[in-house]
Chains A and B, each alone.
Chain A
């Protein structure tokens, strides 16, 4: 079966972000960018399905600026067969990404679409669910285990309080949680080979999708700073402070 994997270019997860002085947004000039960690897990899962003979082809897709092709090349180096880049310099909201992916799903007809559960920049946790709604497909969100069983998909999901297992009819949409797998590193020969793999470019206009959103970002501010605290010298002092100064225990 064909598996489609959506990836996103985001700020590297180790970077300490800075808010622009005019509070218009976060400053992304000259910061290290990388593939969103949850998307890496999605790629890894798709590649493992291929290695197990379950998937016949893995197609990676991204929506974003020209530079996002780096992340598609990374996906190709990790084992994806080909890539689709929906190129736009606009800031694209989850709903618009879902609409663009819906068009790609219509064209490619994958049996399974794997996305990360959330991007670590916007922290929305929406796109996979929205894509499922738009395509009319079932969703297995926050997946920590995925098994294809005939024309069904068995997904173990991380829920508050534990784990839940659901059975979905294929085709289906899955979003990855951190514990689904441990992504591999791309080896140099694979990175070289990835440069020759096919990468198709499309625009939102070609797909007939309007990316404008009705949500306006009014301002972005740093969160309230916590007051620097004190170091205590002993457990006795700690208990005393908690009882008599902070008054959080009795």
Chain B
């Protein structure tokens, strides 16, 4: 077995997601290479060498891989994939964008959002918004897999794997990067936070999300939102937790003014402890909450902030 893990990185920093994917790769077993593809990624590659359990870091540093556009990155992975039995990436927007492209170029299926490794060819993954867990076996010669990072503990950092340059350069006349607008936040990243506090339609307005900020600051929490809150324009969509947003599994998830629709539960029901604050006693969120408080959030939130 020989496994290639596609490193996730942004702004010259290795994303914590990569360490979770390496953990999944370790459960498959075999040599694990990490591929860092991008432009000016020396620092990312250096950070990747520390990940425990990996054999080497391969670095494709070229302007064509800047912003990790799917067309060149898919072609690069396809050129490298013949040396591997498995190619893994986090089920992030980058991994989801690129890996199916690689799979089709190699004529194999892809297994999305894997949450469990049973053996080298058998994996578990959620279907129907997490309401069923499928166990699937792949007989493809190359297994192309995206990994749900919240389902695997990150590997530690104590390694010093060698770095090896990849000279493969592909052409890309198909797509070009124009720009990006990233939400600025001092808070921990939603996918990696130990505590997440989320607001729903019950928050009433975008301004009221400030009620969550003081609590988030005290708990070192990331702030999330339900689709209803995003669609109502209260907060930007990259804060959305759910089937179509981010999947989180923090130690503590606090749902405020969220009814608990199937699509939202799909994104957070693997949290260790769930707290629901809602004035509707019948809200479905109380069926999954470990601690439920039936109260008006506009009274409960300031009180909670004060008592933390």
Instruction: State how many angstroms separate the Cβ of A185 from the closest Cβ of chain B.
Output: 17
Interface check B304, CB cutoff 8 A: yes
Within residues 134 to 171 of chain A, which ones have a CB less than 8 A from any CB in chain B? Answer: 134, 137-139, 141-142, 144, 154, 157-169
Task: Kindly state whether residue B298 has any CB partner on chain A within 8 Å.
Answer: no
Knowing A120-B128, A163-B180, A246-B273 are in contact, say whether A238-B304 is a contact too (CB < 8 A).
Answer: yes
Contact B101 A213 (CB under 8 A): no
Question: Is A229's CB under 8 angstroms from B174's CB?
Answer: no
Q: Does B89 contact A (CB under 8 A)?
A: no
Q: Which of B1-21 contact A (CB under 8 A)?
A: 10
Those of B202-248 within 8 Å (CB) of chain A: 219, 227, 230-231, 236-238, 243-244, 246
Residues in A whose Cβ lies below 8 Å from that of B138: 214-216
B: number of interface residues (CB 8 Å)? 89
A-B contacts, 6 of them at CB < 8 A, read A123-B126, A160-B92, A179-B230, A217-B135, A242-B273, A248-B195
Secondary structure type dominating chain B contacts: mixed
- Cα separation A218 to B121 with both chains bound (whole Å): 12
Contact yes or no, A163 B181, CB < 8 A: yes
Interface size in chain A (residues, C-beta < 8 A): 79
Residues of A with C-beta under 8 A to B307: 235-236, 239
Interface residues of B (CB under 8 A from A): 10, 67, 69-71, 74, 92-94, 96-105, 107-113, 122, 126-140, 173-183, 191, 195, 219, 227, 230-231, 236-238, 243-244, 246, 251-252, 262-263, 269, 272-275, 286-295, 300, 303-304, 307-308
Q: Kindly identify which residue among A14, A26, A141, A231 contacts B127, using a CB–CB cutoff of 8 Å.
A: A26
Q: Does A45 contact B (CB under 8 A)?
A: no
* Residues of B close to A239: CB separation below 8 A: 304, 307-308
Given contacts A126-B103, A139-B71, contact A166 B132 (CB under 8 A): no
A16 near B: Cβ within 8 Å?
Answer: yes
Q: Report A228-245 residues with CB < 8 Å from chain B CB.
A: 228-232, 234-236, 238-239, 241-242
CB pair A248–B175 under 8 Å, yes or no, is no
Majority secondary structure of chain A interface residues (helix, strand, loop or mixed): mixed
Residues on A facing B (Cβ under 8 Å): 11, 13-14, 16-17, 19, 26, 93-95, 98, 117-118, 120-134, 137-139, 141-142, 144, 154, 157-169, 177-179, 213-223, 226-232, 234-236, 238-239, 241-242, 246, 248-249
Q: Are B93 and A129 in contact (CB under 8 A)?
A: no
Whether A249 lies near B219 (C-beta < 8 A) is yes
For the complex, what is the distance from the CA of A165 to the CA of B67, rounded to whole Å?
11
Contact A168 B289 (CB under 8 A): no
Smallest CB separation, B113 vs chain A (Å): 7
**Chain A: which residue is nearest B70 at the CB level?**
A139
Lowest 5 A-B CB distances belong to which pairs?
Answer: A129-B100, A138-B174, A133-B104, A130-B104, A162-B182
What's the nearest-Cβ distance from chain B to residue A13, in Å? 7
Query: Contact between B96 and A231 (Cβ–Cβ < 8 Å)?
Result: no
B135 and A231 within 8 A (CB): no
Given contacts A94-B110, A126-B110, contact A133 B101 (CB under 8 A): yes
- Cross-chain contact of B104 among A134, A214, A215 (Cβ < 8 A): A134
Q: Which residue of B lies closest to A120 (CB)?
A: B129
- Residues on B with beta carbons closer than 8 Å to the beta carbon of A93: 109
Residue among B96, B104, B131, B272 with the most chain A CB within 10 A?
Answer: B104
Instruction: List the B residue with the shortest CB-CB distance to A19.
Output: B132
Whether A216 lies near B136 (C-beta < 8 A) is yes
Complex-state Cα separation, A177 to B96, whole angstroms: 13
B122 contacts A214, C-beta separation under 8 Å: no
> A137 with B174: in contact, given A160-B238, A165-B179 (CB under 8 Å)?
yes
